[in-house]
């Protein structure tokens, strides 16, 4: 709650002009525009940008440049999801403290919520609008400022922010495992 309040205070000065423009001139983004700029469930997180290394481009060749425009390219690489997975799996030799477990739950909530919001008002799969409504549609009509957002896929940045914290837990577990193994080798 404190984090949300501080975030609101930090972002409010940037959102107020949009709100005033909406109130004064009725300015808003169309729902169709929001759908166009939404992340594609099947492709956005798998489309490798052109400047990414050749290994990723060859591994994910099936999705290379299938999503356009580039604002919808949300490829996280392989290391980030792998570390998130390792950070989430329970490790008997490295039990998480209660505060780390709480932090893990909070950032998983942020990751999942941001991922769903990045998909926009309707689910888009393989470039086609399925007309399956998503939570962003409700926010579009109820929350001031959501009608002013152009690229809903930018919620993907919040996905990466949350994933980086969860990946840090995975990195800690990997380091702990390596330290235990190297310590055992020295003893034998």
User: Would you say 36 and 120 are in contact if contact means Cβ atoms under 8 Å apart?
Assistant: no
Residues of the chain above pLDDT 70, percent: 90
* pLDDT tens digits, one per residue of 33-55: 888 889 998 888 888 877 778 88
Query: What is the pLDDT at residue 188?
Result: 37
Residues sharing a CB contact under 8 Å with residue 13, sequence separation 6 or more, in sequence order: none
117's tokens: 């919001």
Query: For position 186, what pLDDT does the model report?
Result: 44
The stretch 120-124 carries a mean pLDDT of 93
Q: Give pTM, 2 decimals.
A: 0.79
Q: Tokens at residue 23, please?
A: 């109130």
What pLDDT, in 10s, does the model give residues 159-184?
999 999 999 998 988 888 787 777 65
Percent of the chain clearing pLDDT 90 (strictly above): 30
- Torsion of Cα atoms, 128 then 134 then 137 then 140, to 10°: -110
Angle at 162 between CA 125 and CA 53, to 5 degrees: 65
Mean pLDDT calculated for residue range 62-75? 71
Name the one residue in this structure whose structure tokens are 């956005």: 44
Contact 180, 96 (CB under 8 A): no
Tokens of 4: 């949300």
Out of 61-65, 123-127, 162-166, 172-176, pick the least confident: 61-65
Give the residue among 85, 54, 89, 83 at the shortest CA–CA distance from 175.
Answer: 83
Mean pLDDT of 122-147: 88
Predicted confidence (pLDDT) per residue in 145-159, tens digit: 777 778 888 899 999
Q: ∠ CA(77), CA(80), CA(86), 5° rounding?
A: 135
The rounded mean pLDDT for the chain is 83
Say whether pLDDT at 23 is over 80: no
pLDDT digits (tens, 9 = 90+) for 82-98: 999 988 887 776 777 88
Residue 53: what are its φ and ψ, rounded to 5°? -70, 160
Is the bond into 41 cis (omega within 30 degrees of 0)?
A: no
Residue 126 φ/ψ region, left for φ over 0, alpha for ψ in the -120 to 50 degree band, beta for the rest: left
């Amino acid at each position: 709650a404190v984090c949300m309040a501080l975030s609101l205070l930090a972002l409010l000065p940037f959102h107020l002009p949009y709100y005033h423009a909406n109130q004064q001139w009725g300015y808003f983004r169309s729902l169709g525009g929001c759908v166009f700029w939404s992340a594609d469930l099947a492709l956005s997180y798998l489309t490798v940008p052109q400047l990414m290394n050749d290994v990723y481009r060859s591994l994910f060749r099936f999705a290379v440049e299938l999503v356009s425009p580039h604002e919808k390219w949300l490829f996280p690489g392989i290391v980030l999801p792998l570390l998130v997975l390792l950070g989430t799996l329970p490790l008997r030799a490295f039990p998480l403290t209660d505060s780390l477990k709480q932090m893990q739950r909070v950032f998983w909530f942020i990751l999942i919520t941001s991922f769903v919001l990045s998909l926009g008002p309707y689910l888009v799969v393989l470039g086609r609008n399925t007309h399956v409504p998503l939570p962003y549609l409700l926010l579009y009509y109820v929350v001031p400022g959501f009608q002013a957002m152009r690229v809903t896929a930018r919620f993907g940045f919040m996905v990466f922010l949350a994933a980086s914290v969860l990946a840090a837990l995975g990195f800690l577990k990997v380091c702990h495992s390596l330290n235990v193994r190297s310590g055992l080798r020295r003893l034998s």
